[in-house]
A and B are shown apart, each in its own frame.
Chain A
C-alpha cells in the first residue's frame, strides 16, 4: 500500500488543477459582464443568449468535444488562424483544453452570477445611480460585494466542474502525459489497463477533494446568510 502511494504520479492532478484554475479565472472575466448584462437587460435577445449559454449543460460532452475539435483542426479557419497568428496548435494541446473547458463550464459561471445579480434589490442599484455612481462603480462596489455567496458558488463550482470533466478533455486534449492527461482521464486509462489500486487511490483523492470543496462553499454561504441576511 505504502509502496503504491509512493509510486503515485501526481502530474495528472496538477494538470487538472492548473486547467481548472485558469478556466475559472478566464471564465470569471468573460462571465461577469455577460451575467450583469443578462440580469439588467430587457432586450428580446435575452432568451436566445440564455439558451446558448445553457447549451453545454444539456449537450452530450462528445457533441461539444466533436464540434470543438472540428473548429480547432489546423484545416479549419479558427485552427489556422491560431496557428498562423500565435503559432499555437489548438487540438491536442493545453491551450486548446483551456478554451474547450471555457465553453464546457460557461453556464456554471454565468448562471449563479446572473441569479445573484437578479436577486439584488433594483432600488439598491438605483440608489447608487442616483448617488452619481456609474454602472461600472455600481457593479464593483455595490452589486458584487452583495452577492458574495453567488460569487463564491460560481467560482468554486466552475473550478470543480472543470476538474470533473472527462468527455470533452478526452476528445479535445487526447491523453498526452504531462500535457493534456488530466486526473479524470488518467483514472480511465488505469481502469482500462486494469490497474485498480492506482484507480482506487486516484478516485478516493478526487472524491475527498470534491467533498471538502463543496462543504467549504456551503459552510461559507450559511455564515454569510446569518451575517447579512442575504
Chain B
C-alpha cells in the first residue's frame, strides 16, 4: 500500500504552477499517468523516486519515504526507474548493467531470458537498437525487485511494432513479478492494454482518476463511436463542404453543412461521432 500526498512549486512552461497530488496505490496495481506535457507527470515520478524534493508525505508499506522531518535518499528507496532515454551505463556490457544493480546472476539470467536479451548480454549498449536498449533498461530496473516500478514514457521513442512488442513484454513482466507500477504514457491503446487505473494530471492537479474505460472512452449516451481528431482542411466540392480530419494516423473525409463549415477552424480539435448505424468491424489487410 502506497500513500502519497505531495506539494511542490513548479516553473511551468507558461506560468508558475503548483503540483498538488494525493492518492493511494494498492499493491500490484498498474497505474498509467497521463496529461499534457508540463502537467507535472515526470516531476511526480521523480519525487516518488527521491530525485527531487517536495513537501508532503510518501509512505510505502509502513516505511516513510518523505515527511516533514525526513527525506529518504533515492539509494534507500526500493524502486526501479526506467528513463525515456534508457540511461544505460555505457561502460558496461548488458549483463554488467544488470549485475551492477544487484549481484544476482540467476535473476539477471532470468530477466535477460524474459526480455530475449540473452544472446546480446556480452554487448555494450552502444551496439543495441532503441528497443533493445529499453528492454535492458526495464530488466535493469527490476534487478532490485523494487516495491515500485516507475516508467517515464518508456516506449514513446520507439516505432509502433517495437512498441507493441514491448507492451506485451511489460505485461508479462508485470504478471510474473507483480510489481506495483506507475507509467507515464500518452498512448490510449497502450494505457488500455496495460493499466488497471488511469490518473490524469492537468496543471499539477489530478483531474481524473479511474479505470481506463471510464477515463479514456469518449462515447456518451447513445453514441455508437466517437473519435477526437484535428481538422486539416475544409474544401468546397460542388455545393457541399468536405472537412478532412486526422484521427490518429488516419485521415477521413466528413461532409459538413455550410454553417458547420463556417464554424470550423483549421487546426481545431473536433469530436467525430455517429449514432445512426452500427459500425462494422473487419480485418485490416494493409
Contacts and interface: CB of A to CB of B under 8 A. Distances in A.
Contacts of A132: 75-76, 101, 144
B51 A130 contact: yes
A130 B85 contact: no
A127 B144 contact: no
A220 interface: no
Given A145-B91, A230-B90, A123 B100 contact: no
B45 to A, nearest CB: 11
Interface in A125-174: 126-134, 141-142, 145-146
A33 to B, nearest CB: 19
Contacts of A142: 89, 91
A127 B75 CA distance: 10
A121 B89 contact: no
Interface string B126-148: 10000000000000100110000
Contact of A124 (B74, B90, B143, B144): B90
Contacts of B73: 129
B91 A134 contact: no
B147 to A, nearest CB: 12
Contacts of B124: 228
B155 interface: no
A175 B87 CA distance: 53
A126 B51 contact: yes
B51 A129 contact: yes
B201 interface: no
Size category, B interface: 20 to 34
Interface string B85-118: 1011111000000001100000000000000000
Contacts of A133: 75, 100
A131 B100 contact: yes
B87 A124 contact: yes
Contacts of B76: 132
A47 interface: no
A134 B75 contact: yes
A41 to B, nearest CB: 16
A86 B83 CA distance: 53
A87 interface: no
A127 B81 contact: yes
A145 B83 CA distance: 21
B49 interface: yes
Contacts of A131: 100-101, 140, 143-144
A228 B51 contact: no
Contacts of A230: 90
Contacts of B89: 124, 127-128, 142, 146
A123 B87 contact: yes
A129 B85 contact: no
Nearest to A129: B74
Nearest to A148: B91
Given A123-B85, A132-B144, A142-B91, A229 B51 contact: no
Contact of B79 (A128, A130, A228): A130
B229 interface: no
B80 interface: yes
A77 B85 CA distance: 54
Contacts of B74: 126, 129-130
A181 to B, nearest CB: 43
Nearest to A127: B87
A116 to B, nearest CB: 13
Interface in A204-230: 227-230
A123 B90 CA distance: 12
A151 B72 CA distance: 33
Nearest to A141: B100
Interface string A44-59: 0000000000000000
A121 B85 CA distance: 9
Interface string B53-93: 00000000000000000000111110111010101111100
5 contacts: A127-B81, A128-B89, A132-B101, A227-B126, A228-B124
Interface of B: 49, 51, 73-77, 79-81, 83, 85, 87-91, 100-101, 124, 126, 140, 143-144
Interface of A: 121, 123-124, 126-134, 141-142, 145-146, 227-230
Given A127-B88, A127-B140, A130-B81, 14 more contacts: A124-B89, A126-B83, A128-B89, A128-B100, A130-B77, A130-B80, A131-B101, A132-B144, A133-B75, A133-B100, A146-B90, A227-B126, A228-B126, A229-B90
Ranked nearest first, the 10 interchain pairs of A and B with the lowest CB-CB distance are: A123-B87, A145-B91, A131-B101, A123-B83, A127-B87, A130-B81, A129-B74, A124-B87, A229-B126, A132-B75
